[in-house]
Amino acid sequence: MKDRSKDLLSVEMTDKQFIVFEGGEGAGKTSAIAALAATLKAAGHDVLLTREPGGTPEGLALRALLLAADAPPWDKHAELLLITAARIQHVKRIIEPALRAGKTVLCDRFIASTLAYQGAGRGIPTELIRDLHRRLVGNIQPDLTILLDIDPIIGLARSARRLHSARLDEGRFEALDLAFHAQVRSAFLAIAAATPSVVIDASRPLPDVHTAVTTQVLAWLTA
């Protein structure tokens, strides 16, 4: 985790602890992250599996406010502030303590999602998003990002099936048009090219995706 603030320094922390999964709708992050968690636990890692928005009770409440299909029409800046509020709570209360305790933290979405959805998708300048992050969240960045890349036409179809079968009322972003999701995808790819990341083709069958994720992360951990 680069740029971690000084007060977090601890002998137990390394720069191979904070792994973030990113990707558009229906990329299969949830099952891939669970598969990686199982592998790392079996290899003796103390793993914390968490997600955004969510990861704390207050984050879950904000998640419901943000993602319900009939959620209010949030102003884009209000949306950014709610996501940032959830992230501040998540980082301060859950992620930083876990990293200080030497855990491997696997997080489903983080700042790249905000840059992709609220930045590229909604049109908020990325400097504002990065500045809010630096000033309020504390400049924490993933040590490694796994980007599960998928064509939004395939991903949105998968996501619609999942939301329907799990009866999840979380479809507000899925309901946005294909152009929005295409911009999100391009932004994720650009961020991955500029940060420590692995890009995995998530259109392949799930077992292949899981194998690719596990192989890449184990290689990175031992490099």
- Of positions 19, 36, 49, 83, contacts ligand TMP by CB under 6 A: 83
**13 vs 181, which CB is nearer to ligand TMP?**
181
CA-closest candidate to residue 195, choices 130, 136, 112:
112
Query: Residue 114 is encoded by which pair of tokens?
Result: 């905000």
**Residue 141 CB, nearest approach to ligand TMP (Å):** 14
- CA dihedral (155, 122, 138, 219) in degrees, to 10, reads 30
> What is the total count of residues that contact ligand TMP (CB under 6 A)?
12
Question: Cα dist. 94→48, 101, 136 in Å?
Answer: 9, 11, 16
Element (H, E) at 50: strand 47-51
Binding mask 115-154 for ligand TMP (x = CB under 6 A): --xx------------------------------------
Residue 22 binding ligand TMP, by CB under 6 A? no
Residue 18 binding ligand TMP, by CB under 6 A? no
**Residue 21 CB, nearest approach to ligand TMP (Å):** 9
Residue 98 binding ligand TMP, by CB under 6 A? no
| Three-state secondary-structure class, residue 103 | coil
- Of positions 50, 56, 104, 114, contacts ligand TMP by CB under 6 A: 114
Using CB under 6 A, which of the segments 4-12, 96-104, 108-116, 188-196 binds ligand TMP? 108-116
**53 vs 142, which CB is nearer to ligand TMP?**
53
Q: Which residues, in sequence order, are CB contacts of 108 under 8 Å at separation 6+? A: 20, 21, 29, 30, 33, 49, 50, 51, 52
**Residue 200 CB, nearest approach to ligand TMP (Å):** 16
| Three-state secondary-structure class, residue 44 | coil
Map tokens 């995706």 to a residue: 209
Residue 210 binding ligand TMP, by CB under 6 A? no
Instruction: Give first-to-last CA distance, the chain, whole Å.
Output: 16
Residues that bind ligand TMP (CB under 6 A): 25, 51-53, 67, 83, 109, 113-114, 117-118, 173
